[in-house]
Amino acid sequence: MKHLIDPTDFTKEEIDEIIEYGEYIIANRELFRDKLRYHKLATLFYEPSTRTRLSFTSAMMELGGNVLGFSDARSSSVAKGESVGDTALTVGNFVDVIAMRHPLEGAPYVASKVSKVPIINAGDGSHAHPTQTLTDLLTIKRELGHIDNITIGFCGDLRFGRTVHSLIKALSRYKGIDIVLISPDEMRLPDYIKSDVCDKLGLRYKEVRSIEEVIGELDVLYMTRVQKERFLDEDEFERVKDSFVLDCEKLKGAKPDMAILHPLPRVNEIRQEVDADPRAAYFRQVENGKFVRMSLICKLLEWKDDPSHSMPAHPEYFHDPGRHCRNTKCICNHENVTPLFHETESGIVRCVYCDSKV
């Protein structure tokens, strides 16, 4: 059975199939009205969301299916201490597929290990957000006509921005990608993404300190919000929160067909005046999120019993009582799950649940 926990759970061919099917759905919406009649999706959201939860809901409704779930875990038996695994096992008796958002990193992965139905990671802590990645890829394809051979600038919070981490992993499978990382020191991309994704897979990247010095090179500018909820130190958040703000003045040096993406919500990082610029693609990106989730749900159900679409082989996992994951937001430090580790090709030991270096 295929789950979507991390973008690399899908082959490039499977990702391309989902993107292309999403484009087919956009062109033939009337054909999909009853596609998943009598099917059910559960949205288990332990953390706030507008776009992801409602686009999943809208996607399933547009396919003729039904949706149940919770948007506040305090109203469920989670409040009585029920584990992520038991919740997924229980809800799997009621539905065909589960979309889960959780503040703890690795929670959807834990659910996928016991679930009888496909689990979709709808965002786990600062770790991954693979359905946003599918949304971003479909948006890039629709805005530029292609995904290969682009220069993409990631701007803002590259440290906690799970959408950035997931999109970089996915782009590593495409040809001719140049990445420009635009952030202050406090919010730089984690080393494990640079070493295990960019360096290992030969993704070209450079780090700069301002939008202005690179904007003329970019085909895509991917803006991000500084995520107050992920900072442990409020002073640090106050120092960096307004580091990068995109306005019409800064856009003067950009290519005429550059696409501006943002996973949203935004706070201050894109001035409202930019919304009227035809290059502002972030609300079109929101709509693409519904279509790509329609495509994803259809494909996961189609692939469920097809052994040619199983989960990828992973490196050997091991338990070592002498090691523990130091990430306080990792599921293994909150629930009764066996801490597991794996060693990367470069000899670094990482937590299986959250990818932190151990």
In the complex, the residues that contact ligand CP under the rule CB under 6 A are 49-52, 123, 132, 263-265
Nearest distance, CB of residue 19 and ligand CP, angstroms: 18
Cβ nearer to ligand CP, comparing 83 with 121 = 121
Nearest distance, CB of residue 300 and ligand CP, angstroms: 19
State residue 3 phi and psi, 5-degree precision.
-110, 165
For residue 205, list its beta bridge partners.
179
Q: Dmax of the chain from CA atoms?
A: 57
Nearest distance, CB of residue 106 and ligand CP, angstroms: 18
Cβ nearer to ligand CP, comparing 85 with 263 = 263
Alpha helices in 49-190 (DSSP H): 51-62, 84-91, 107-114, 130-144, 162-171
Cβ nearer to ligand CP, comparing 263 with 339 = 263
Cβ nearer to ligand CP, comparing 123 with 153 = 123
Cβ nearer to ligand CP, comparing 155 with 352 = 155
The three-state secondary structure class of 51 is helix
Q: For 315-351, b where at least 16 C-beta lie within 10 A, e where not — what string?
A: eeeeeeeeeebebebbbbbebebebebbeeeeeeebb
For residue 152, list its beta bridge partners.
179, 220
Nearest distance, CB of residue 42 and ligand CP, angstroms: 16
Nearest distance, CB of residue 216 and ligand CP, angstroms: 28
- Return the DSSP state at 43: E
Residue from 176, 255, 165 nearest 219 by CA:
255
Nearest distance, CB of residue 143 and ligand CP, angstroms: 17
